[in-house]
Amino acid sequence: MATLADVARHAGVAASTVSYVLSGKRSVSQATKDRVRRSIEALNYQPHAGARALASSQAHVLALALPLRGDLYVPVMMEIAIAVTTRARAFGYDVLLLTAAEGSEGIRRVASTSRADAVILTDIGLADDRIEAARNSGVPAVAIGVPAAPAGLDCVDLDFAAAGRLCVEHLTGLGHRVLAFIGEAEAVYTRRTGFAERTLRGIRAAAGDVDLVHRPCEGSYEAVAATLKKILEDRPETTGLIVQNEAVIPPLMSLLSSHRRAVPDDISVVALCPDQVAEQTAPRLTSVTIPAAELGHRAVELLVHRMTSGEDGTEGKVRLIPPSLTVRGSTAAR
Amino acid sequence: MATLADVARHAGVAASTVSYVLSGKRSVSQATKDRVRRSIEALNYQPHAGARALASSQAHVLALALPLRGDLYVPVMMEIAIAVTTRARAFGYDVLLLTAAEGSEGIRRVASTSRADAVILTDIGLADDRIEAARNSGVPAVAIGVPAAPAGLDCVDLDFAAAGRLCVEHLTGLGHRVLAFIGEAEAVYTRRTGFAERTLRGIRAAAGDVDLVHRPCEGSYEAVAATLKKILEDRPETTGLIVQNEAVIPPLMSLLSSHRRAVPDDISVVALCPDQVAEQTAPRLTSVTIPAAELGHRAVELLVHRMTSGEDGTEGKVRLIPPSLTVRGSTAAR
DNA sequence: CAGGTGAATCGAAGCGCTTCGAAACACCAA
DNA sequence: TTGGTGTTTCGAAGCGCTTCGATTCACCTG
C-alpha cells in the first residue's frame, strides 16, 4: 500500500506538498498539482484513514444510533439509514452504526475515542438518556424526532401535529363528520414517544366540533380486529378513519372488506405512513408521508454545516418539516 | 481529553507500560496494573481510535454493504444489520455502513484507506461486481448469500434448497397433492439472485410426482390478485400454497378469504419468511424462517476468527444453515 | 560466588498524515 | 539597486498509540 511519502518521492516533491494538493488548503502551482496527481494515479495511492484522523483530529465519520426497539417502523428506519449514509458520503463522511443494545454508552464511546465526529439519534423518546449522553459527549448531535427537552440539541422531524391536522381537514373537507383515529400501540403513548402525542394533539385540535375517537392499537391481526369491531359497533356511522401504526394497515384493509365496508365508498381511510406502504394496498391509500429520506438528509446537512462553519451551535433548534398529503384512492366524499 | 501519556505520567510509569496494561500483550505486575487502572479511571481516559488504528494497523471496524435494492427484504436486512452490529461489538469492532449507491467502489475505498478491516456483503446476486471488489480488496470478506462463483469468498446463507424441500414435504406429508409456489417477482429470477433459484430447485426436486406450478409474483395487491386468480382458475383443486415473497403475504391472505378459501380448511399455506411476519397474520403462518440474526452473527464470527487466527483463508467455503419449519395455524391435513 | 533465567519496566522508533513557520524565488515599485 | 509583496515549496514537529529491543533487578543453580 503506497503512502503519502511514496507519492512525494515519486513526484519529486515534499510530503507536505502532496498533502496540500490533496486538501487544497494552500495554493500549489498547476504544474506540481498535475505531477502529484499523476503519481497518485500511478501508485494508486489512498490516504490512510487512521493517520488522517490522528493528524487532523477529524475522523470523517458520523455515528447513527438506531432505534431502541427493532420491530418498529422498520421501513422508515431503513430509509433513514440509507439517506443518512448517502448524504454523508456526499460530504466525505462514512456512517457508523450504533445499536439499541449499546444505548447511551455507545454514544459516549464513539465520541470520546474520536471514532465519530458527530452523532445522529433516531427514534427519540420524550425522555431518552441518549440525549443527555449526546449533549455531554462533546460532539455535535442531531435528533431525528423531538424529545421533551430539546435544549442544546438540534432536532429535525415531521410536523406530526400539522400532519394530524391535515388528515382531519382532508376528511372533514370531504364531508365526513364521524371519525376514528387508530393510533400507535398503547405502549408507544405510555413511553411518551413524542411523535405519537403530537399527532394526537394535532388531530384533536383540528377535530373541533366533529365527532372523533382515538383508539390505540397494536399491529397484530387480532388487535386490529378487536379495535375495528369496537369502533364499528360503538359508532356504526363512522365514515372516516385515520391510521398511524403502519403495521395495522394490511389487516385493517382486509377486515374492512369482511365487515362489508367498501373503501372509499362506505368509509374513507387516511394513513400516516411511507408512500411505499400506501401504494401497496388496494385501493391505494390517501396518506401523509413520513419523509424519511428528507429527515436523514437534513440531519446530515445540519451536522456537516455545523462542523464546517465552526459554529458550535448549542442552539437546540427544532426544525419541523411541513407535512404533505397525497390523495389516492382510499378517500371520497361522504 | 486525556491521552496515554497523561495516564502514564499520572501513574508514574512509561507510556508503553500503560499500553501493555490495556492490551495485555506483555505481563505487568499486579501492583502496576492497579495503579494504571486507577489513573485511567481518574482521568477518564479513552484511547484515540485513529491513533490506535495507525499504530496497530487495525481499525477495528467491519464494513457492512447493504442491498442494492432498498425495497427488498427490509425487515430481514434490518435484522441482519442489527445482528452484525451487536456481534461485532462483542468482539470490539464497530460497523460501517456501505450503501448500494457506492457499490463496489465503496468496498475498495474502505479497504484501501484502512477504514475497515473486513467486509460483509449482503443481498448477493449470482454475478455481483462487489464480490470481485471484495476479493481483490485485500481484506477478509464474507457474503451473506451465495454467488455463482464463490471461489475465494466465504459465504453463509440459509439452505434455501432444503427450505423449499421442507415446505413441499410438509404439505405432501399432510396429504396435499396439488401445490402452487408463489415465488419472488420475475425480476428476481432474471437477475439470477441465488436464493430464489435455489429455493425453486429444492421445491421442484422434492415435488417429484406431485402436481406443482411455479408462479413468480410481485408484491403489489393487483399482482397478487392476478396470480392467485390464475392459480385458482387453472387448477381449482389446488390445496397447498408455498409463498416466498413476503410482500405477497398480506394481500394473499385477504384475497384468499374473498375467494372463499378458508385457511387452513380449504387451502394450506406455507411461507418462507421471518417469524415476525409469519406471526402477524390470522391464522399465523406455518413457515420456514429466514434466520437473519444467525446469518449476521455467523458472518461476523467467521471474519473475526479469520482475522485473529491469522489464517488467510482464501477458502471460499459455503456454509449453509439448515432450515427449520415451524408449524403454525395455516396448514392442515387435506 | 559467577553466571544464567525470567519477570517487569523503560525508552525510542515508528505508523502515515497535517500543519506551521520559514526558505526560496520571482516580480514590481521606489 | 534595494526592499517589499506574494506565490510556491520545503522541513520538521507533532497527533496518540504500539511494539521492539534493551535494561534492571531478583532469584536460582551449579
pLDDT tens for each residue of B126-151:
667 899 999 999 999 999 998 888 77
pLDDT in tens, A68-82: 665 556 788 889 999
Q: Cis peptide before A283, with omega less than 30 degrees from 0?
A: yes
Closest CA to A85 of B17, A77, A14, B84: A77
Quick one: pLDDT at residue A92? 96
CA dihedral B296, B302, B307, B308 (to 10 degrees): 110
Q: Which residue has the higher pLDDT, A315 or B212?
A: B212
Please provide the average confidence, as pLDDT, over all residues in chain A. 92
Distance B12 CA to D30 C1' (A): 39
Residues A272 and A246: their CA atoms lie apart, in Å, by: 8
Answer whether B152's CB lies under 8 Å from B164's CB. no
Tell me the mean pLDDT in the region A304-322. 82
Quick one: pLDDT at residue B153? 87
What Rg value do the Cα atoms of chain A yield, rounded? 25
Contact B254/A at CB under 8 A: yes
Beta bridge partners of B320: B157
Residue where the block lists cell 413520513? A290
Which H or E run contains B97?
strand B94-98
Q: Which residues of A touch B50 (CB under 8 A)?
A: 49-54, 59, 114
Order of strands across the sheet with B178-182? B211-215, B178-182, B240-243, B268-272, B286-288, B325-326
Tell me the mean pLDDT in the region B154-181. 97
pLDDT in tens, B58-111: 999 999 998 766 555 678 888 999 999 999 999 999 999 999 889 899 999 999
Tell me the mean pLDDT in the region B157-172. 97
The C-alpha angle B299, A292, A158, rounded to 5 degrees, equals: 140
Tell me the mean pLDDT in the region A170-178. 97
Distance A16 CA to C23 C1' (A): 15
Q: Report B:80-109 residues touching A (Cβ under 8 A).
A: 81-82, 85-86, 89, 94-102, 106, 109
Residues B154 and A61: their CA atoms lie apart, in Å, by: 28
pLDDT in tens, A206-242: 998 899 999 999 988 889 999 999 999 999 999 999 9
Tell me the mean pLDDT in the region A317-322. 94
Closest CA to B189 of B158, B214, B221, B216: B216
Quick one: pLDDT at residue B68? 62
Enter the DSSP assignment of A99. Answer: -
Cβ within 8 Å, pair B50-A48: no
Distance A16 CA to C21 C1' (A): 13
Phi, psi dihedral angles at B98 (to 5 degrees):
-115, 130
Q: Judging by DSSP bridges, how do beta strands A325-326 and A286-288 pair with one another?
A: antiparallel
Quick one: pLDDT at residue B71? 58
Answer whether A183's CB lies under 8 Å from A244's CB. yes
Closest CA to B180 of B261, B264, B269, B262: B269
Q: Which residues of B touch A222 (CB under 8 A)?
A: 282
pLDDT at A317 over 90: no
What Rg value do the Cα atoms of chain B yield, rounded? 25
The chain B residue lying nearest A48, using CA atoms, is B113
What confidence category does residue A126 fall into, taking pLDDT thresholds of 50, 70 and 90? low
Tell me the mean pLDDT in the region A280-298. 94
> What residues contact B227, with CB distance under 8 A and at least 6 apart?
B182, B215, B217
**DSSP for A190-201, written as a single string:** HTTBHHHHHHHH
Percentage of residues in chain A having pLDDT higher than 90: 74
Residue from B7, B54, B94, B259 to probe the interface with A (highest A Cβ count within 10 Å): B94
Residues A332 and B211: their CA atoms lie apart, in Å, by: 45
Quick one: pLDDT at residue A258? 84
Quick one: pLDDT at residue B70? 53
Instruction: Indicate the SS3 state at residue B193.
Output: strand
Quick one: pLDDT at residue B313? 58
Quick one: pLDDT at residue B113? 98
What confidence category does residue B251 fall into, taking pLDDT thresholds of 50, 70 and 90? confident
| Bases along strand D below 7 A from a protein CB | 7-12, 14-21
Tell me the mean pLDDT in the region B115-120. 97
pLDDT at A179 over 70: yes
What confidence category does residue A313 fall into, taking pLDDT thresholds of 50, 70 and 90? low
Residues A240 and A332: their CA atoms lie apart, in Å, by: 10
What confidence category does residue A312 fall into, taking pLDDT thresholds of 50, 70 and 90? low
Percentage of residues in chain B having pLDDT higher than 90: 75
Closest CA to A124 of A179, A75, A192: A192
Q: Which of A53-62, A254-263, A289-298, B261-270 is the least confident region? A: A254-263
The C-alpha angle B268, B273, B275, rounded to 5 degrees, equals: 95
Quick one: pLDDT at residue A68? 61
Q: Which of A191-195, A213-217, A230-234, B320-324 is the least confident region? A: A191-195
Q: Which of A157-166, A241-250, A254-263, B145-154 is the least confident region? A: B145-154
Percentage of residues in chain A having pLDDT higher than 70: 95
Tell me the mean pLDDT in the region B174-197. 88
Quick one: pLDDT at residue A246? 85
pLDDT in tens, B17-33: 999 999 999 999 999 99
The amino acid occupying position B232 is: L
Contact A112/B at CB under 8 A: yes
Report how many helices (DSSP H) and strands (DSSP E) chain B contains, helices first: 14, 12
Instruction: Indicate the SS3 state at residue A46.
Output: coil
What confidence category does residue B247 fall into, taking pLDDT thresholds of 50, 70 and 90? confident
Order of strands across the sheet with A118-122? A318-321, A154-158, A141-144, A118-122, A61-65, A94-98, B94-98, B61-65, B118-121, B141-144, B154-158, B318-321
Contact B67/A at CB under 8 A: no
- Helix runs in B208-325, H state only: 221-234, 249-258, 275-278, 292-308
What are the respective helix, strand and coil percentages of chain A, to the nearest 5?
50, 15, 35
Q: Which of A30-34, A187-191, B159-163 is the least confident region? A: A187-191
Quick one: pLDDT at residue A276? 84
The amino acid occupying position B215 is: R
Which H or E run contains A318?
strand A318-321
The chain A residue lying nearest B51, using CA atoms, is A54
